[in-house]
Amino acid sequence: MQTIGRPVPRKEGRDKVTGQARYVDDLIFPEMLYGATVRSAVARGRIKKISFEGNIPWDEFTIVTAKDIPGENCVALILLDQPYLADEFINHPEEPILLLAHPDKHLLEEARRNVQLEIEPLPAIFTLEDSLNRKEIIWGEDNLFKSYKVEKGNVDEVWQSADFIIEGEYETGAQEQLYIENNGVIAIASPEDGVTVWGSMQCPYYVHKALLKLFGLPEDKIRVVQVETGGGFGGKEEYPSMIAGHAALLSWKSGRPVKIVYDRAEDMASTTKRHPSWTKHRTAVSRDGKLLGMEIDFVIDGGAYATLSAVVLSRGTIHAAGPYSCPNVRIKSRAVATNAPPHGEERFAESNKTSRQKKGMGFASFMHGAGFTGSGEKYLESVVGAEATADGRVRILAASTEIGQGTNTIFAQIAAEALRLDYDSIEVAKPDTGAVPNSGPTVASRTCMIVGKLVESAVLGLKQTLSGSGLLKENYTQEDFRQACRSYIEQHGALKSYSKYKAPPGINWDDEKYEGDAYGAYAWAVYVAEVTIDTVTYEARVDDFVAVQEVGKVIHPILAAGQIEGGVAQAIGYTLFENVVWKDGRMINNQMTNYIIPTAADIPPIRVFFEENPYAYGPAGAKGIGELPMDGAAPAILNAIENATGASINHIPLMPESLIEALGGESG
Amino acid sequence: MRAYLPEYELKPAASLTEALTLLSDEPGVWKPFAGGTDLMVLFEAGKLLHKKFVNIWNLPELRGIEVTPEFVTLGALTTYTDVQANEVLQQEFPMLCQAASETGGLAIQNRGTLGGNIANASPAGDSPPALLVYDAELELVSTQGSRFVPYNGFHTGYKQMRMREDELIKSIHLPRVSKPLLHYYRKVGTRKAQAISKICFAAVTQVDASEIKEIRIALGSVAPTVIRCSRTEDVLRNRKVNAETISAARLELAREISPIDDIRSTARYRLRVAQNVLEDFLTSLN
């Protein structure tokens, strides 16, 4: 029975629609305390004094500062520059300084307001220009987290012979991921039993790695369990390591379970957002329409600490030239520091752009690489396990998380198809670092193509073991498989199989020269937007949207279309609605009333079409899909606006307040 | 929730008399709490400074829509859902119905009240511009009796109004003279639903032989309070709608409003779009 390509029910769908699914904030542990974070109000400075004021029974509170950290005070990720709690120096607004825990969460808030911080301010920088010009050195020796250079052919020689040279500067803004469920965790930690954390997250093993360093404990003393997660969009990639550490520190000191769940205001102001960016393109073109050369300068604002900026920059660098054949290319890219909260990954996007109601149409053609960039997958060495039970059921063991996008469902489909079993006979284990191997982070459009392929290999390993033991014949039924599993387990014990990532043949990448195959495969797409500009209010509406993409074999048509529809809706928000208002490095519209995301009434019909060209090294021929739809909507919409008004717009978000300027204040 | 709950008191009032007695016995100590759609947002954010409230939500004296030949009288607790469902309002005061339908989502429309919207005194309210051009009058009550005040001029500054601390808004009176007029309402809020207005424009007019006879214009989100634009009205009254009139009206409107830059928009955008909407309204008369 074929399951690939069919819209089977979601594995966790019934629990979600009937309200049985339990999220962090639904979990109550006996004797549990609530935790809160005291944060900096200034962008950069030096802590002079902390005092505990007000009519608060302070002796009832667990109070944690940097001095209480048993291991190293840094969030282990790529670099070790970001502290869990600022000890002396503050580098961005909302930086955590002190933690509080108490059984009464209302009194906890009152206490948080009564911690007085005396901070001597230091000069801060908030713009890419100030960081590049080193107005202040706020990170390392030069404010530079990372830079890359890509060279192909000889760009310097093309300008002379070019018939046309097209130049432009493009800016994109920060974007809040705005998952429905805010960040939240519960921790139990003690020197005797180690640390266990339950939380809403994308990458359990990132949290695991960070807690190892924070507590200085051996690997088997740290356990991280993902609970039902209400969306991530890249916003729960690295930040859960921070909040998990905070809850664990409070539990370590109090000896009781501690829950920290942010409210929307704290989540929006404090956690990572999409990196703001600036790009300069210079392109040489011949009269017959050939691209002769491209020179690209790409800069992203990483905020105060390095976090994942190097990874985001790398992907941006490689995608900067778009899906075009061009003999001469130079790409220079930099990730720089500012005194804003660190910017993290968000479902990637690349804006390479090219009566009263004015209508226009625009399109964008683009690609998106699936999996970690460059040698990333090689270093990750992801592992997936499969386990068969005596009643012939198969469990997938992976740390890849279900965050609403369908991981559980497609893994079960891939396994069922590979083993020719019923979809219902496949289970997907809950990601728990105590029970599943490290299949890598749930990011970078890698879960289906990379981890899904490992699922396929792992379950085929089960079949080979059974065949090799002479227990399973070539054409078997579900019942034959069950019998074989039972016999095997009776004779040999547990039946498990593991599969580890190996790069497909012919895929090579040079980290030094930044040359080679950055990704095993790319998804390809053409998006078309139709817009109306209201010249009375300068509001742009997307009236119709067509998204055509080639993503290899489509595993689940409804989930895949949902990924595209959701991604396009998010990208329409990115392009026309979502404006993070900054003041001195702090987001000041950190509430849903004033950070405007589009409603269903603002989103047009999104017409999704798939071309299927199976990829040999993806499961059943599938490639990656998650981030792809973010890339195309902005350039398609800006091109449509140019078509409608003649105004060439090079920045997003394009709010009505800036379209008024682009249209020269022309009235209706 | 950031508020410290034990510090707050919400006292239920069994009758209007009981509520008014409480307000007059301890002036300024108690404030009314109706649908709570503004207060609960502040409470959740830990920004609700006042701590003692009297719950007036269940007072029948402040509910109901009454229709007489001269007036429609809306109890202060009339919700946005009640407004939209009323046939007389649909026919004679369509802008009030439109404003109600564009305020918040369904849950807010079920709890939010017209009296609360007025007393909250936000310059960005969606209904106040419509109430202004419909020449609403407010009935205020206290233990000393009741009095009527015109809505135009009720708001005197940002969050300031002509009402004593011991008074409640009892009802809103709308004279039934609007039916023959042309109505034009436009809320600009960037997204189509669940938005706080950047500009809110309401106007009624009567055009006779292509000359504007009667005209009333009000705007929200362009000054410290919602405002009637009487000087712009003066420029337009007894004029034909043509390019010259439109240009004069745009100019006068710019003098009459005082928009600012804030978290939602810019002064420049608000000024220009207010003028554009005015022009769109005037053009629609031809």
Task: Tell me which residue has tokens 């300031």.
Answer: B160
Average pLDDT over chain B, rounded to an integer: 96
Return the CA Rg of chain B. Answer: 19
pLDDT, one tens digit per residue, over A142-163 is 999 999 999 999 999 999 999 9
Q: CB contacts < 8 Å between A and B, how many?
A: 81
Q: How is residue A328 written in tokens?
A: 């001469």
Same fold, A31-122+177-270 and A382-500: yes
Q: Where are the domains of chain A?
A: 31-122+177-270, 382-500
Inter-chain residue contact B3 with A263, CB threshold 8 Å:
no
Q: Using a CB cutoff of 8 Å and minimum separation of 24, what contacts does A283-289 make?
A: A283/A165, A283/A166, A283/A167, A284/A158, A284/A159, A284/A161, A284/A162, A284/A164, A284/A165, A284/A328, A285/A162, A285/A163, A285/A164, A285/A165, A285/A166, A286/A162, A286/A163, A286/A164, A287/A163, A287/A164
| Å between B175 CA and nearest CA of chain A | 32
Q: 3-state class of A161 per DSSP?
A: helix
Task: Tell me which residue has tokens 């954390």.
Answer: A197
Q: What is the pLDDT of residue A345?
A: 67
pLDDT, one tens digit per residue, over A622-647 is 999 999 999 999 999 999 999 999 99
pLDDT, one tens digit per residue, over B145-204 is 999 999 999 999 998 999 999 999 999 999 999 888 999 999 999 899 999 999 999 999
Among candidate residues A252, A249, A242, A260, the one with its CA nearest the CA of residue A203: A242
- What residues of chain B, 183 to 202, have a C-beta less than 8 Å from chain A? 188, 190-196
For B192, the closest of A109, A589, A601 (CB atoms) is A601
For A106, the closest of B5, B196, B280 (CB atoms) is B5
B240 touches A at CB < 8 Å: no
pLDDT, one tens digit per residue, over A567-583 is 999 999 999 999 999 99
Query: DSSP state, A10?
Result: P
Percent share of chain B, pLDDT over 90 = 97
Inter-chain residue contact A667 with B5, CB threshold 8 Å:
no
pLDDT-based confidence at residue A665 (cuts at 50, 70, 90): low
Q: What is the pLDDT of residue A352?
A: 39
Task: Select from B194, B260, B265, B283 the residue whose CB has the most chain A CBs within 10 Å, as the one to mutate to test that interface.
Answer: B194
Residues of B in contact with A536 (CB under 8 A): 273, 276-277, 279-280
Inter-chain residue contact A109 with B45, CB threshold 8 Å:
no
Percent share of chain A, pLDDT over 70 = 98
Cα gap B85→B96, rounded to integer Å: 11
Bridge partners, residue A428, by sequence: A396
Q: Where are the domains of chain B?
A: 5-55, 60-175, 183-283
DSSP codes of every residue in A402-440: -SSS-HHHHHHHHHHHHHT--GGGEEEPPPBTTTS----
CATH of domain B60-175: 3.30.465.10
> In terms of CA atoms, which chain A residue is nearest residue B196?
A593
Q: In this structure, what are the phi and psi dihedrals at residue A257, rounded to the nearest 5 degrees? A: -60, 145
Cα gap A492→B25, rounded to integer Å: 85
B43 touches A at CB < 8 Å: no
Q: Which helix (H) or strand (E) holds A264?
A: helix A264-270
Residues of A in contact with B106 (CB under 8 A): none
Residue A324 CB neighbours (<10 A): 14
| C-alpha neighbours within 13 Å on the C-beta side of residue B236 | 33
Inter-chain residue contact A106 with B266, CB threshold 8 Å:
no
pLDDT, one tens digit per residue, over A611-625 is 999 999 999 999 999
CATH superfamily to which B183-283 belongs: CO dehydrogenase flavoprotein, C-terminal domain (3.30.390.50)
Q: Is the pLDDT of residue A355 over 80?
A: no
pLDDT, one tens digit per residue, over B25-42 is 999 999 999 999 999 999
Cα gap A370→A449, rounded to integer Å: 7
Q: How is residue A466 written in tokens?
A: 């059974």
B157 touches A at CB < 8 Å: no
Residues of B in contact with A537 (CB under 8 A): 188, 273, 276-277
> In terms of CA atoms, which chain A residue is nearest residue B45?
A265
Q: In this structure, what are the phi and psi dihedrals at residue A138, rounded to the nearest 5 degrees? A: -115, -10
- Check: CB of residue A499 under 8 Å from CB of residue A383: yes
Inter-chain residue contact A660 with B6, CB threshold 8 Å:
no
Least confident of A48-52, A311-315, A457-461, A511-515: A511-515
pLDDT-based confidence at residue B1 (cuts at 50, 70, 90): confident
Cα gap A186→A32, rounded to integer Å: 9
Q: What is the mean pLDDT of residues A413-441?
A: 97
Residues of B in contact with A599 (CB under 8 A): 191-194
pLDDT-based confidence at residue A213 (cuts at 50, 70, 90): very high
pLDDT, one tens digit per residue, over A223-266 is 999 999 999 999 999 999 999 999 999 999 999 999 999 999 99
- Check: CB of residue A341 under 8 Å from CB of residue A619: no
| Å between B17 CA and nearest CA of chain A | 34
Q: Is the pLDDT of residue A1 over 70?
A: no
pLDDT-based confidence at residue A356 (cuts at 50, 70, 90): confident
Q: In this structure, what are the phi and psi dihedrals at residue A383, rounded to the nearest 5 degrees? A: -130, 140
Q: How is residue B116 written in tokens?
A: 């609360």
Q: What is the pLDDT of residue A667?
A: 47
Task: Tell me which residue has tokens 């003690």.
Answer: A190
Residues of A in contact with B269 (CB under 8 A): 538, 656-657, 660
Q: Is the pLDDT of residue A353 over 60?
A: no
Q: 3-state class of A42 per DSSP?
A: coil
> In terms of CA atoms, which chain B residue is nearest residue A598?
B191
Inter-chain residue contact B4 with A110, CB threshold 8 Å:
yes
CATH topology of domain B5-55: 3.30.43
Q: Which residues of A touch B (CB under 8 A)?
A: 105-107, 109-110, 113, 263, 265, 356, 535-539, 577, 581, 588-589, 591, 593-594, 596-599, 601-602, 655-657, 660, 665, 667-668
Q: Is the pLDDT of residue A350 over 90?
A: no
Q: In this structure, what are the phi and psi dihedrals at residue A609, rounded to the nearest 5 degrees? A: -130, 140
B5 touches A at CB < 8 Å: yes
| Å between A228 CA and nearest CA of chain B | 22
For residue B90, CA distances in Å to A247, B82, B84, B93, B220 come to 55, 11, 7, 6, 22
| Å between B6 CA and nearest CA of chain A | 8
Q: What is the pLDDT of residue A493?
A: 96
Task: Tell me which residue has tokens 């029910």.
Answer: A9
Task: Tell me which residue has tokens 């998204």.
Answer: A547
| Å between A107 CA and nearest CA of chain B | 6
Q: What is the mean pLDDT of residues A194-217?
A: 98
pLDDT-based confidence at residue A347 (cuts at 50, 70, 90): low
Q: What is the pLDDT of residue A668?
A: 42
Asked if omega into A656 is within 30° of 0 (cis), the reply is no
Task: Select from A56, A110, A537 the residue whose CB has the most chain B CBs within 10 Å, as the one to mutate to test that interface.
Answer: A537
| Å between A657 CA and nearest CA of chain B | 6
Residues of B in contact with A39 (CB under 8 A): none
For A588, the closest of B41, B263, B266 (CB atoms) is B263
Percent share of chain A, pLDDT over 90 = 95
Which residues, at least 6 apart from B209, have a Cβ–Cβ distance to it below 8 Å? none
CATH topology of domain A382-500: Aldehyde Oxidoreductase; domain 4 (3.30.365)
Residues of B in contact with A655 (CB under 8 A): 190
B280 touches A at CB < 8 Å: yes
Which residues, at least 6 apart from B97, have a Cβ–Cβ distance to it below 8 Å? B83, B84, B86, B89, B90
Residues of A in contact with B190 (CB under 8 A): 539, 577, 596, 655-656
For residue A510, CA distances in Å to A114, A162, A324, B143 come to 54, 31, 21, 84
- Check: CB of residue A535 under 8 Å from CB of residue A356: yes
| Å between B79 CA and nearest CA of chain A | 21
Inter-chain residue contact A593 with B196, CB threshold 8 Å:
yes
B261 touches A at CB < 8 Å: no
CATH topology of domain A31-122+177-270: Aldehyde Oxidoreductase; domain 4 (3.30.365)
Inter-chain residue contact A599 with B188, CB threshold 8 Å:
no
| Torsion sign (Cα): A577, A581, A585, A591 | negative
Residue spans of alpha helices (H) in chain B: 16-25, 39-44, 80-85, 87-92, 94-101, 106-111, 114-120, 128-133, 230-236, 243-256, 267-283
| Å between B126 CA and nearest CA of chain A | 15
pLDDT, one tens digit per residue, over A18-64 is 999 999 999 999 999 999 999 999 999 999 999 999 999 999 999 99
Inter-chain residue contact B190 with A539, CB threshold 8 Å:
yes
For B4, the closest of A107, A537, A602 (CB atoms) is A107
Q: How is residue A9 written in tokens?
A: 């029910």
Residues of B in contact with A667 (CB under 8 A): 272, 275-276, 279
| Å between B197 CA and nearest CA of chain A | 11
A664: left (phi over 0), alpha (psi -120 to 50) or beta: left
Q: What is the mean pLDDT of residues A319-334?
A: 95
Residues of A in contact with B272 (CB under 8 A): 660, 665, 667
Q: Which helix (H) or strand (E) holds A359?
A: strand A357-370
Q: 3-state class of A542 per DSSP?
A: strand
For B193, the closest of A113, A601, A665 (CB atoms) is A601
Inter-chain residue contact B196 with A594, CB threshold 8 Å:
yes
Return the percent helix, strand and coil in chain B, to nearest 5: 35, 25, 40
Rounded to the nearest angstrom, the gap between the alpha carbon of residue A41 and the centroid of all alpha carbons in its chain is: 27
